[in-house]
Structure 1
Amino acid sequence: MSNLLTSRQAEELHKSLIAYLSSCGYTRSAQAIREELEISESSFDAATCKKYEGLLEKKWTSVVRLQKKIMDLETKTQQLQHELDNATPSSLAARKNHDPTTWLPRAPARYTLQSHKNPITCIAFHPIFSSLASGSEDCSIKIWDHELGELERTLKSHTKAVLDVDYGGPRGNTLLASCSSDLTIKLWDPADEYKNIRTLPGHDHSVSSVRFIPSGAAGAPLSGNLLASASRDKTIRIWDVTTGYCLRTLPGHGDWVRSLSPSADGRWLVSTSSDQSARMWDLSQPDTNALKQTFMAHDHVVECCAFAPAATYPHLSAIAGLKKPPPPTSAAEYLATGGRDKLIKIFSVNGLCIKTLTGHDNWIRALVWHPGGKYLLSCADDKTIRCWDLAQEGKCVRVLEAADHFVSCLRWAPSVYKDAAATATNGQSNGVPTNGVTDAPKEQIRCLVACGSVDLNVRIFSA
């Protein structure tokens, strides 16, 4: 007898075997087992045979079901363990040794968000809450909770592909702007369940980029209310989001205007175009005198641009061969552009290209400066995100296989600014002297990056 079964279990198994063979018509086999086991007909009559008839099949099928259930539970356990590894206080405490000023995203993504039905074109982080907006060629905008990895709501109003989204404006910088191939810009209010509060028509072709202009735009009275848009109609428009009026139109590009990036103080705006140029505009000047610089270094469509923050000045000035970096109070000293020629160009605002970064194998789609100032991040149609170390002359120090298809957009979560009255030390805040004044806000860098892809997924990378 098997050592695995008790005598009673063995007896039930034997009787089940005999009953199964009898019910299937294998009478000689059943008789042979009965004789081998010395089971008399009196102890295994017709009624007993009927009792054990289906037992073997029931046991067999229940074992298969249990095996499947065990496999499902094992998979679920692995998923939960992964979440615990990424979210528990102990794991976070173990990772607290990372420095936000030098943190870089690494695989795998913390969350892969799936709901869009067509390629994702744009993403934007809410400046305060744990919300992330994504726009897609499926004409919808989806709002996600990036801390939980869950879909919160879907916004439907555009009739063609959504090409860009951005948070900002009045009401505490928390309006959401979107633009589309349907020629319109739409404003949504997160405080009112993302109600579509205004539609801005005016462009004559697809609107490819929208960016809120930070308050303090050259002392303009409308600071905080301004929104810039770029279009395939070759123009840039500046809007007052409180009234919906188009305040000015900036012509100059010879082809489709692809992207926009305002300076931190709101005075300057850089744009890129299919005319293979980038242009810098002074929004404090009248339209006829607004164009201040044209950057001509790419051999193909210039897809994206980004003004460098003041934290990058020590590294970029060294690359430029300067002995002393520009003052951190200056908001427009350097900028980067990326194009379909697979190159990233870093310019000083006088038009000089100080560095060309090579490494991507396909069109470059988005650029993001690390808030700590040491790195530049880029994404491209080669499915990767690349991290370039400015302290090492722009050397590529990390390549992230970020998606299964083209990576179309990339954003770093905006920093949180806290009251520095209690935190400013040695008369400095965020590396900038405060001249004894300790009420300057202190920047708290969030280690949080998101990208969107043609593979229909939004991916969240976090510390």
Structure 2
Amino acid sequence: MSKLLTSRQAEELHKSLVAYLDACGHPRAAQSLRDELDLPEAAFDPATAKKYEGLLERKWTSVVRLQKKILDLESRAAALQHELDTTTPSSLAARKTHDPATWLPRAPPRHTLPSHRLPVTCVAFHPLFSTLASGSEDCTIKLWDYELGELERTLKSHTKAVLDVDFGGPRGNTLLASCSSDLTIKLWDPADAYKNIRTLPGHDHSVSAVRFIPSGAAGAPLSGNLLASASRDKTIRIWDVTTGYCLRTLRGHGDWVRALNPSPDGRWLLSTSSDQTARLWDLSQPDSIALKQTFADAHAHVVECCAFAPPATYPHLAALAGLKKPPPASSSAEYIATGGRDKLIKLSSTNGLCIKTLTGHDNWIRALVFHPGGKYLLSCSDDKTVRCWDLAQEGKCVRVVEAAEHFVSCLRWAPSVWKDAVPAAGGEGRERALTNGSGSGGGATEQVRCLVACGSVDMNVRVFSA
């Protein structure tokens, strides 16, 4: 047998073997090995035995860890090779310059943020600052600086699992809203060290989703004092966050209302439920006639999530629907996406017609996000992946991101920043950052942020960025 070890390495291995056998209660085997190796007492006193006692086990576990790392790296190298084999000059150029219109998340994440002690249920980006909020079954909300990858603070007030969080609120006064299985909604003020400024009771069961409703005001499309909430009590409630009053209660779902999504102008509200339907509500109408469409035949299981398609997607979705001319960009509610426990994503027009079914996930679909550029739809699932679907290629899955080590429970794209030239004294213009929306008038331009976050049952928050 050829010698692979140096004399020093061989001596350490021999002493480790003897020390291991002694520690495991095999003194005769240890003595036999010492006799065979001609290892005298002077060379293997009690101090030496103690030194080498755990060395063999440590080396063994190190080898196992290294083997796992090697397998992970080989898998990553194979994925990169596949991407290299299938790339085109245009996609290479887009990646090099990080074109916001075509950027998609890729593994590994820029930051993996561990601190929660139970599964992460929700994430939300602050519209202007580099703050990311995450909620968890551990009853806490954590605030992160996603640029530095650091935990800034932990909010404790809910007494049961936090199920959703969202940033929004009156213009110039961004608030953080959270909801929980403790039947309450809480409002936190970032301008006052995230003080809990108001608690909204009223739902009779777990509150599963909260979303601020845009006002549609020119120049600030996401400013508004209305908040929508969905609950296991089968209702949707509309709240005034400045007074804390419940203004409306929308009834129609026959089971747990799971998710909400308002249109960019705040007129329409989309909801999904365990009753296997999605419903479209016209908030400009009285409660009795607010329900405008029920998507009852799309899914054969609980509908977990939904999203309004932004106007930038209309050319692609109109082609899928067989239309020669897309709807006008001024319309805020032409197409929607829904995902459910049947592992399917449905693209539908708001008249109730399903125009495309996207298949590929191997487990429940938990969240949907349209790319602000309009070309892609992103989804996350209990199959541990985030998938990117190209709407320009009839919904083809063009990227699978291995996003977590367990179920991926939530997904958010950072809101765009709107730059608006505002006349100032002396006739000069100034820029101001505005929260995300479909448009703001006055020549505002949208700056898409290449920034995506997801949360997982593995208790980590992950941030993907260019």
SS in 2 for 1:191: helix
Aligned to 2:78: none
Aligned to 2:5: none
Aligned to 1:397: 398
Which one-letter code corresponds to 2:375 in the other structure? K
Give the Cα–Cα distance (whole angstroms) in 2 for the partners of residues 433 and 368 of structure 1: 18
Q: 1:95 to 1:360 in 2, by over 3 A?
A: closer
Give the Cα–Cα distance (whole angstroms) in 2 for the partners of residues 181 and 394 of structure 1: 36
Q: 1:114 to 1:417 in 2, by over 3 A?
A: same
Aligned to 2:369: 368
Matched, 1:445 2:445: no
Give the Cα–Cα distance (whole angstroms) in 2 for the partners of residues 307 and 172 of structure 1: 25
Q: Superposition pairs for residues 236-385 of structure 1, below 5 Å? A: 236-296=236-296, 297-385=298-386
CA contact (8 A) 1:420 1:442 kept: no
Which one-letter code corresponds to 1:387 in the other structure? C
Which one-letter code corresponds to 2:462 in the other structure? R
CA contact (8 A) 2:168 2:223 kept: no
SS in 2 for 1:172: coil
1:397-436 deviations in Å (ceiling 9; x for gaps): 000000000000000000000025899xxxxxx9x999xx
CA contact (8 A) 1:217 1:267 kept: no
Q: 1:255 to 1:94 in 2, by over 3 A?
A: closer
Unaligned runs of 5+ in 1: 1-56, 65-92, 424-429
Which deviates more from structure 2 when the two are superposed, residues 170-179 or residues 310-319? 170-179
Aligned to 1:77: none
Which one-letter code corresponds to 1:314 in the other structure? P
CA contact (8 A) 1:134 1:143 kept: yes
Give the Cα–Cα distance (whole angstroms) in 2 for the partners of residues 442 and 417 of structure 1: 6
Q: 1:217 to 1:282 in 2, by over 3 A?
A: farther
Aligned to 1:413: 414
Give the Cα–Cα distance (whole angstroms) in 1 for the partners of residues 158 and 258 of structure 2: 19
1:172 CA displacement: 2.4
Q: 1:372 to 1:433 in 2, by over 3 A?
A: closer
Which deviates more from structure 2 when the two are superposed, residues 164-173 or residues 194-203? 164-173
Which one-letter code corresponds to 1:112 in the other structure? T
Aligned to 2:168: 168
Q: 1:311 to 1:237 in 2, by over 3 A?
A: same
Give the Cα–Cα distance (whole angstroms) in 2 for the partners of residues 175 and 440 of structure 1: 27
% identity of equivalent residues: 83
Which one-letter code corresponds to 1:143 in the other structure? L
Give the Cα–Cα distance (whole angstroms) in 2 for the partners of residues 255 and 216 of structure 1: 30
Give the Cα–Cα distance (whole angstroms) in 2 for the partners of residues 323 and 419 of structure 1: 33
Give the Cα–Cα distance (whole angstroms) in 1 for the partners of residues 120 and 174 of structure 2: 22
Give the Cα–Cα distance (whole angstroms) in 1 for the partners of residues 387 and 412 of structure 2: 13
Give the Cα–Cα distance (whole angstroms) in 2 for the partners of residues 414 and 433 of structure 1: 13
Q: 1:105 to 1:173 in 2, by over 3 A?
A: farther
Give the Cα–Cα distance (whole angstroms) in 2 for the partners of residues 117 and 448 of structure 1: 25
Q: 1:347 to 1:173 in 2, by over 3 A?
A: farther
Q: Identify the structure with bigger relative contact order (alpha carbons < 8 Å, sequence gap 6+).
A: 2
Aligned to 1:144: 144
Give the Cα–Cα distance (whole angstroms) in 1 for the partners of residues 363 and 94 of structure 2: 37
SS in 1 for 2:314: helix
Q: 1:94 to 1:350 in 2, by over 3 A?
A: closer
1:121-142 deviations in Å (ceiling 9; x for gaps): 0000000000000000000000
SS in 1 for 2:97: coil
**How many matched pairs?**
364
Which one-letter code corresponds to 2:392 in the other structure? A
Matched, 1:101 2:90: no
1:36-64 deviations in Å (ceiling 9; x for gaps): xxxxxxxxxxxxxxxxxxxxx9xx99xx9
Give the Cα–Cα distance (whole angstroms) in 1 for the partners of residues 179 and 302 of structure 2: 20
TM-score w.r.t. the length of structure 1 is 0.75
Task: Tell me which structure has the larger Cα radius of gyration.
Answer: 1
1:111 CA displacement: 0.3
Aligned to 1:460: 463
1:248 CA displacement: 0.5
Which one-letter code corresponds to 1:156 in the other structure? K
Give the Cα–Cα distance (whole angstroms) in 1 for the partners of residues 248 and 419 of structure 2: 35
Matched, 1:130 2:162: no
TM-score w.r.t. the length of structure 2 is 0.75
1:3-62 deviations in Å (ceiling 9; x for gaps): xxxxxxxxxxxxxxxxxxxxxxxxxxxxxxxxxxxxxxxxxxxxxxxxxxxxxx9xx99x
CA contact (8 A) 1:217 1:266 kept: no
Give the Cα–Cα distance (whole angstroms) in 1 for the partners of residues 146 and 112 of structure 2: 10
1:216 CA displacement: 2.8
1:385 CA displacement: 0.1
CA contact (8 A) 2:121 2:164 kept: yes
Give the Cα–Cα distance (whole angstroms) in 1 for the partners of residues 165 and 459 of structure 2: 17
Which deviates more from structure 2 when the two are superposed, residues 190-199 or residues 439-448? 439-448
Give the Cα–Cα distance (whole angstroms) in 2 for the partners of residues 302 and 396 of structure 1: 21
Q: 1:100 to 1:173 in 2, by over 3 A?
A: farther
Which one-letter code corresponds to 2:332 in the other structure? A
CA contact (8 A) 2:283 2:290 kept: yes
Give the Cα–Cα distance (whole angstroms) in 1 for the partners of residues 264 and 439 of structure 2: 18
CA contact (8 A) 1:298 1:339 kept: yes
CA contact (8 A) 1:216 1:223 kept: yes
Give the Cα–Cα distance (whole angstroms) in 2 for the partners of residues 314 and 231 of structure 1: 35
Which one-letter code corresponds to 1:285 in the other structure? Q
Q: Superposition pairs for residues 15-26 of structure 1, below 5 Å? A: none
Aligned to 1:42: none
Unaligned runs of 5+ in 2: 1-47, 56-92, 423-427, 430-435
Give the Cα–Cα distance (whole angstroms) in 2 for the partners of residues 390 and 283 of structure 1: 29
Aligned to 1:41: none
Q: Superposition pairs for residues 210-229 of structure 1, below 5 Å? A: 210-216=210-216, 224-229=224-229
Aligned to 2:32: none
CA contact (8 A) 2:171 2:223 kept: no
Which one-letter code corresponds to 1:116 in the other structure? H
Give the Cα–Cα distance (whole angstroms) in 2 for the partners of residues 94 and 122 of structure 1: 30
Which one-letter code corresponds to 1:137 in the other structure? E
1:152-176 deviations in Å (ceiling 9; x for gaps): 0000000000000000011426200
1:98 CA displacement: 1.9
